[in-house]
Amino acid sequence: MILSMFMGPPTEAAQEVAKNTETVATVEPPWETLHSWAPLPEASTFAPGTETLYMFIVWLSTFFFVVVMGAMFWFMYRHRRRGDDDKTSSITHNGKIEFLWSAIPAVLLLVVFVWGELDFIKQSVLPPDAIDIRITGRQWSWTVEYPDYPGVSFTSSTETPEVVMMVPKGRPVRLTMTSTDVIHSFFVPVFRVKRDVVPGRYTNLWFEATQVGEYNMYCTEYCGEQHSKMTGVVKVLEPELFEAALLEAGKLERGDGEEDKVYGARIYKRRGCDACHSTDGLAKTGPTWKGLWGRTETMKDGSTVTIDGAAGENYISESILDPNAKIVSGFGGAQMPSFRGQLSDEQIKALIAYMKTL
C-alpha cells in the first residue's frame, strides 16, 4: 500500500495518505500542487525567522524604490523640457543631503546585516540531541541513511518523485552530507535550509520541522545532465508515527514471498540505478539493462565480456561493487560510484534476476 504510494506522482500519493492513513489527521497537500503565487509554507523552526526578515527587506526595498522612483517621476514631470532655452539649476552638490543618504541606508543595512547574521548563527549551531541522518549525493540521486536505524535507507529516483527522507515533526534533525562525485546542494524550500554537498568533505545542516506534510527537496548546485531530476520528497510525520513509518518504508527488505525479480525491480528504482541505466533500450549515462543478459559487450580496453551464466553474474556483481574495473566502450563520461556495503549479496542477486527479465 505504502509502496504504491511511492510510485505514483505526489498528488496521488497525498490523496492516498489522506485516504489510507486515518491516524494522520491533517496532511498538507504537497506544496507543489499549490498555486504558484501562493505563499511558500513555513514548515521549520527557521522558516518564520527567515520569512520575517525577508518581508522586512521587501518592505524596506519597496519604500526606497517608491521614494526614488517617486522623485524620479515627479522630476520627469515637473522639470520636463519645455523649450530649448530652459534654464536649469546651478546646484552641484549638497553636503548635508549627501551625508544623510549615505548614513541612513548604512544604518538600515547594518540592522539587516546583524539580523541576518543572528539567524544564520542559530542555523549554524548544531543541536546535541538530534536525529542523525547521513546523506550521500551522487549524479543523479540522493541516498539518505539513518545511522540510528540500521538498514533504513532511501534513494531518490530521476523518474518519479520518491520520498527520500522521513522526519518527525517537532524534533531537530541533523544532516551529515557528502558527495561521491561532484558538488551538489541540499535544498528544502519550505524549511528555508540549504547546504552544499561537497565531495571529499562533510557538511552539516540541521532543522526542526513544524508542519506535517510532503515537501519537495532539490539539488541546487548544478551537477550535470539530470541536475533538474535530482529531486525528492521530504515527508514530515507526527512524532508518534515516525518510527514505525520509517522502518516500514525505509527498509528495502524482501516482502513476504516476494520474487527475486520483483524485489530487484524495486531495488532498481529505490537505489537510483534508474538514473543512469534504462530498461527500455535507451543508452543513458550507463548502458541499458534491456537485453543486457546474454549480450556481448566490448570494453574500453578492447576485451569482450559475454554476460551469461556464472561469468555474467560475476561481471555484473563486479560492476556494482567495483564499477570502474571494466567499462563498456562508449561510456565512462560520468563515473558510477561503488555500491559496496550498500547492496547485500542477496539484493545483487535480486537485481540480476530482474535484469534477466528485461
Contact set for other proteins, span 50-89 (CB under 8 A): 50, 53-54, 57, 60-61, 64-65, 68-69, 71-72, 75-76, 79-89
CB 239 to other proteins: min, Å: 25
Decide the pairing of beta strands 172-179 and 131-138. parallel
Applying CB under 8 A, among 334, 348, 351, 355 the residue interacting with other proteins is: 334
CB 109 to other proteins: min, Å: 4
CB 65 to other proteins: min, Å: 6
Q: Does 96 bind other proteins (CB under 8 A)?
A: no
Interface map 292-331 toward other proteins (x if CB under 8 A): ----------------------------------------
320, 351 Cβ separation under 8 angstroms: yes
Residue in the block written with cell 518564520: 48
Sheet arrangement for strand 131-138: 153-155, 141-145, 131-138, 172-179, 203-208
DSSP designation for 263: H
Strand partners for 214:
235
Decide the pairing of beta strands 232-237 and 163-168. parallel
The Cα-based distances of 151 to 24, 190, 250, 286 in angstroms read: 25, 28, 8, 27
Minimum CB distance to other proteins smaller for 4 or for 33? 33
Q: Does 229 bind other proteins (CB under 8 A)?
A: yes
Minimum CB distance to other proteins smaller for 164 or for 245? 164
What's the Rg (C-alpha) of the chain? 27
Q: Does 241 bind other proteins (CB under 8 A)?
A: no
Residue 168: exposure state from Cβ atoms within 10 A (0-12, 13-18, ≥19): buried
Q: Does 22 bind other proteins (CB under 8 A)?
A: no
Q: Does 157 bind other proteins (CB under 8 A)?
A: no
Minimum CB distance to other proteins smaller for 155 or for 179? 179
250, 154 Cβ separation under 8 angstroms: yes
Quote the longest CA-to-CA distance of the chain: 97
Minimum CB distance to other proteins smaller for 227 or for 349? 227
Q: Does 106 bind other proteins (CB under 8 A)?
A: yes
Residue 79: exposure state from Cβ atoms within 10 A (0-12, 13-18, ≥19): exposed
Residues 166-205 that bind other proteins (CB under 8 A): 181-183, 185, 187, 189-190, 192-196, 198-201, 203
15-23, 249-257, 332-340, 341-349 -> range binding other proteins (CB under 8 A):
332-340
Between CA 270 and CA 347 the distance in angstroms is 12
All three cell numbers of 76, joined, read 520627469
Q: Does 123 bind other proteins (CB under 8 A)?
A: yes
CB 246 to other proteins: min, Å: 25
Tell me the site size for other proteins, rule CB under 8 A.
97
CB 152 to other proteins: min, Å: 26
Between CA 357 and CA 192 the distance in angstroms is 44
317 φ, ψ to 5°?
Answer: -60, -40
Applying CB under 8 A, among 6, 31, 293, 339 the residue interacting with other proteins is: 31
CB 36 to other proteins: min, Å: 5
Minimum CB distance to other proteins smaller for 13 or for 245? 13
